[in-house]
Structure 1
Amino acid sequence: MAQAVTDVGRDVADRMAEAASAWLESLDPEQRKVAVGPPPGTSEEAEGERTRWFYTPTDHGGLTFHQQRPAQHRLVMRLLATGLSEAGYNTVATVLGLENVLDRTEGFTVDFGWERGRDPGRYFLRVFGEPGGSAPWGWRFGGHHVSLHNLVVDGRVVATTPCFLGADPARSPLLGGAALRPLGVAEDLARELVRSLHPDLAARALLLGRAPDDIVAGNSPQVVSGLDRSALWRPGGPHVDPRGATPVTGMQGGEQEALAITPEPKGVPGAELDAAQRELLHALLGTYLDRVPPGISPLPRYDDPAALDAVHLAWAGSTEPGEPHYYRLQGPRLLIEWDNTQRGANHAHAVWRDPEADFGRDVLAAHRAAHHS
């Protein structure tokens, strides 16, 4: 089984390299200056930029759709498709399109200092290093409510986190009374799970009676103990985030302590859930881990009962539909955060991280030690 997974990982890496190379070959020299970054691990400064990430509509670094021709747009989307499952790709494409819906929701008035505030053309792609071969290389795609990070080392995909998706509006009406909810299942399964808990377990799962107004770790380059959060907008840009680097926005004192991410997970472990609840937990994990192609997703790891035992569920806020809420899934090499609190609880953030190896730091360090010692 391990060999089969490795082979799939190499196949995905090969497809990524082919798609990335095709995109790079389509660029003129001026486009390439913006589109290409240093190979991963070449310097502290280069790594600082590669691991700086955002989920706001700020400058994510790279070449935007606006700076490319339509044929190049297709090549961008082709590269995205190599790093996402079919469902993951469809969800990302929907989130990009939601910028038009959000623009209408806000009356076509939001101004961040560039030509259009809510702009489906303002998504950035950058490739780090030279695709293909054994040398490390990677790529990053991001803009408002999308942040994807992929690292390839020795011809194998070794990292796909942080992996952030958001939806604003989280729910919007469609014809015939239907609703567009790109991340709706991730909300519904978690609510069903926490509401199914015995009162004693529910009390342990509840971190706080009200929810923070954003994910706790924010866009920190590395998940650390306590409360740490980077600025949500790139420094020097035209828009300054009024929240600055507040660790948990809207929380004070003991509330921050209650919500702080700690090495020992908070909440209720999978080991204390019954069979039906464990099925819900596994399905909930799938709404995050199945964003990436089969074969490189870590979801099969949780077919092992011991691995599912170690995943902790924690909740903050109301469990009533339509009310502000937050939840967290945490275990070895896993941190998932969800919040839906802003815009009247109709603005969702959902991030999957590997606290030990976001951006492939572990594999990249081992590669450099082996080849540059």
Structure 2
Amino acid sequence: MAEHKVVVVGGGFGGLSLVHGLRAAPVDITLVDRRNHHLFQPLLYQVATTVLATSEIAWPIRLLYRERKEVTTVLDEVLGVDRQARTVRLKSGRQLAYDTLVLATGARHAYFGRDEWEGVAPGLKTLEDATTIRRRILLAFEKAEIAEKTAEMDALLTFAIIGAGPTGVELAGMIAELANTVLPPEFRKIDTTRTRVLLLEAGPRILPAFTESLSAYAKRALEKLGVDVRLGQPVTAITEEGVTIGETFIPCRTVIWAAGVQASPAAQWVNAAADRAGRAHVKPDLTIEGDDNIFIIGDTALVLGEDGKPVPGIAPAAKQQGSYVAKVIKARLAGDPTVSPFRYRHQGSLATIGKRAAVIDFGRIKLTGAIAWWIWGLAHIYFLIGTRSRLAVAWSWLWIYLSGQHSARLITQKETLKDNS
């Protein structure tokens, strides 16, 4: 009897958790991803702000499964799914047959109908995004050093982050620290401490997923770093020259988008109902309506918690869903179709503000300041893959903590100082 064919689309937290959970199961697994690496997205902003190198938060997928002979890795892009034939159509022209299909394709940043903003305000979801943002940040200081006009220098030293969720808050804090503590001794003409960092949020407060007290603490911590936090003011225009808030234009050469996400087109591939963000509606066992052989997990699925609210699109949730689906598949193969519905266990919310402050919400326990920062760091190191990565990240953070220097400050793309990107 041929082994059960499981096709997993997406090598993120959900997909890898699923593959890990199927170890020793009588299955043949094909893992498809557009990139050859798994990315630890929670630390992506640290690559963008020169703290970590790309190799410290990403690992080749083939390396992860070199000892798993039942796992085949395919570098390709999915274009569609034929539910009747049970095949996945790839960009290369290949067709992958499946008995069980798991879509764990994640999400990308969304611009609320203003897609033309993406060219001047990149989001942060991939390594390419991170290195693009890092290049723009570093080039802004280099261009300011040789700028001949004060107005141009001021615009180059103004950075705007749109969206005040964890990513926006973390980016704002790290850019402020870079300008205030790392770069001042290295430039001769400009005073990098004059850098202006704007955190723009259309809502009433930053970190809306946290309690109001933690949100207020984070705002004070950012303002202590010199970040200009503006709330309740939506951005109405973004150009290469700057941003417009309401009707106020601010000259600004570096804009970063951290305001919204859009799910992958997975729901369209399988003709499943979806919400406005493109997340597929799934049943309590994470399958789609009308097809128990297709699971959708992670950021591209609309999963409801016991309180009726959507499960947050964060790494722990995707990992729990991947582990759950692995248990469902193994139970089915063992002849037990009765599996309890998925239950999300919230393990806490964490966000860092600079290198010595953070906020943590563990429900009854809420922490701020240096102790929260240490716990945040230990938690992230623990979830990194492999001893080498844990040691590398721990050493990078220790070095920065002791010396105040960021080591990953290379501008690697071939671009001149005249290039606005």
TM-score bin, normalised by smaller chain: under 0.3
More strand by share: 2
Structure with bigger gyration radius: 2
- Structure with greater helix percent: 1
TM-score for both structures, normalised by structure 1: 0.26
